[in-house]
Structure 1
């Protein structure tokens, strides 16, 4: 909807984040750029982050978040007064700070010469943390921006469910564009897109339902996202993400689940039960 153009550059082997920058150099040329790892979700805009980078003519700025247990992350040590980055430590057993690397960075073109001289780490990758550390060592102007709102790493099913909950809670507004019959109830902040149909059902927000969706004889509870072209029939769904073209039929309760594209989850007659599922694309799950 935003009329953006995308260029995809394939990384043939998983040789590290700095390697990804290296193979993109021909595309990036001398431009400054934002590096944003795709499994990160943050609760604030990067605009202030970018504005600081431009205004102060920095070589790099990195996004940090204070965490309870920094041992699982790359950790930054900064000058608290100036915000300058002093050093980075990868997953330290004795963390020198509680400031974890979020995975959102801004660089100018000086990073390319740093990466060109970079040696692979023990795991055989060109590490972006090593590149930033070398930039700091070379007296580059590297600052930190500390994230005040939430940060989620959506690499696992439960992380995606939590990210869905956070986004729906913060951004959903009530907007009903679908056909809803008189036997149905829509409560709270619910978005339902056009050409969808709700019959004899209850939908409670915050939740979001895409185009060409049919919800029939069903309950859709809070924190549920249903993509385009789905069917939810004779079922209850809560706190779940259902991707395009999938069908949920006669399931007593689908809770905290992630359902891939074009999948079917259906239940035959049997004992009532609540389900927590992670289902890939084009799957069929039949329950007794």
Structure 2
């Protein structure tokens, strides 16, 4: 069994962050989103992994993720020159996949369920495809499945204007090599892409074994700011354990589950968990509220922060108003020139510099 993680795409919904970096490397609880998918596959004992990358962000993904040895995996990188659809990604990966069954995993997705249960069903029933589904409130934004009471897939449609159901395709699919035959005869959709939903529909029309399972727990597509913050909240809520490897000085209070990295110095501040703070950070006269993640080498002074994600080497200085629901990019700098008595919310890309005057 092999795996194919899709980590290309331009991440337009997460701009400005993704003007300068890959959306799959944006951190959730100080860990790149992509790495959660790799860890989920390795946990299910799938260790031969291909990662689809783009010309724009592929080098960064390779540099940060490596050859897979840190995860107990073997990673092969596959370049997709242009984002021509999910089925196109499978098509260019065929030399890597060979005749092996495989899991296709969209690299900006997070799920709570263990993949092993679905993998076992896929193998036991000798399926040609097993798709994972989740009820959503806006099915027209996704691929949508119609399923009977036995879990058999009746039809699929990509981003329909009038959805036949509210069951969206989660970005995780199990395929036999039969999917390659379906992809080979595909024509581009109205969007100009080779759609994986069309390939699965072709399997159905040729009486191949296609089944569906609805996820038991949460699923998040982290393609937008609010989804990213929600993913950060859920991971901190469910996975974080307390650890303090830093230096605590003055009247600092640590309340609840808080993880503090090496050589981080916290002075005269209150940290109310769940909160994760990376290595080599400096915080002074701050209140850091629940569901906040602060990456390595960040500096915060005179700042009140809650439900936010601060990326590596960012600086937030002298912001005496409350910052909420914000994502601050790598090396970005925000400092206050004139006090304004109101809460602030930001979505700031890498290397930005903002002064509030």
Distance 1:20 1:49 in 2: 22
Q: Determine the structure 1 residue equivalent to 2:327.
A: 258
1:85 to 129, 132, 153: 153
Cα displacement string for residues 120-146 of structure 1 (whole angstroms, at most 9, x for unaligned residues): 111211000000110111111111110
5 Å matches for 1:1-288? Answer: 1-81=70-150, 83-252=151-320, 253-288=322-357
Task: Give me the whole-angstrom Cα distance separating, in 2, the residues matched to 1:228 and 1:284.
Answer: 18
CA distance in 1, matches of 2:74, 2:280: 26
> CA contact under 8 A between 2:284 and 2:300: conserved in structure 1?
yes
Q: Displacement of 1:21 after TM fit?
A: 0.6
Corresponding residue SS for 1:100:
strand
CA distance in structure 2 between the aligned counterparts of 1:69 and 1:270, rounded to whole angstroms = 40
Aligned CA distance change for structure 1 residues 214 and 3 (closer, same or farther; 3 Å) = farther
* Displacement of 1:68: 3.2
Whole-Å Cα distance in 1 between the matches of residues 92 and 181 of structure 2? 13
Q: Give the ranges of 4+ consecutive aligned residues of structure 1 lying more than 6 Å apart after TM superposition.
A: none
| TM-score (norm: length of structure 1) | 0.95
1:12-38, Cα deviation, whole Å (9 max, x unpaired): 112111001101111111122211112
CA distance in 1, matches of 2:227, 2:179: 31
Moved more, 37-46 or 26-35: 37-46
- Unaligned runs of 5+ residues in structure 2 are 1-69
2:79 aligned counterpart, secondary structure: coil
The structural deviation recorded for 1:93 is 4.1
3-state SS of paired residue (2:186): coil
Instruction: Sort the Cα spacing of 1:286 and 1:5 in 2 relative to 1 into closer, same or farther, 3 A.
Output: farther
Q: Which segment is superposed worse, 4-13 or 182-191?
A: 4-13
Distance in 1 separating the partners of 2:232 and 2:302:
24
**Higher share of residues assigned helix:** 2
- Deviation at residue 182 of structure 1 after TM alignment: 4.5
| Structure 1 stretches lacking a partner, 5+ long | none
TM-score when scaled to structure 2?
0.77
How much is the aligned-residue C-alpha RMSD, in angstroms? 1.5
Give CA-to-partner distance per residue, 1:82-115, whole Å, 9 cap, x none. Answer: x221211233344332211112111121111110
Secondary structure at the aligned position of 2:266 is classed as strand
**How many aligned residue pairs are there?**
287
Q: Within 2, Cα distance between the matches of 1:3 and 1:197?
A: 33
SS at match of 1:275: coil
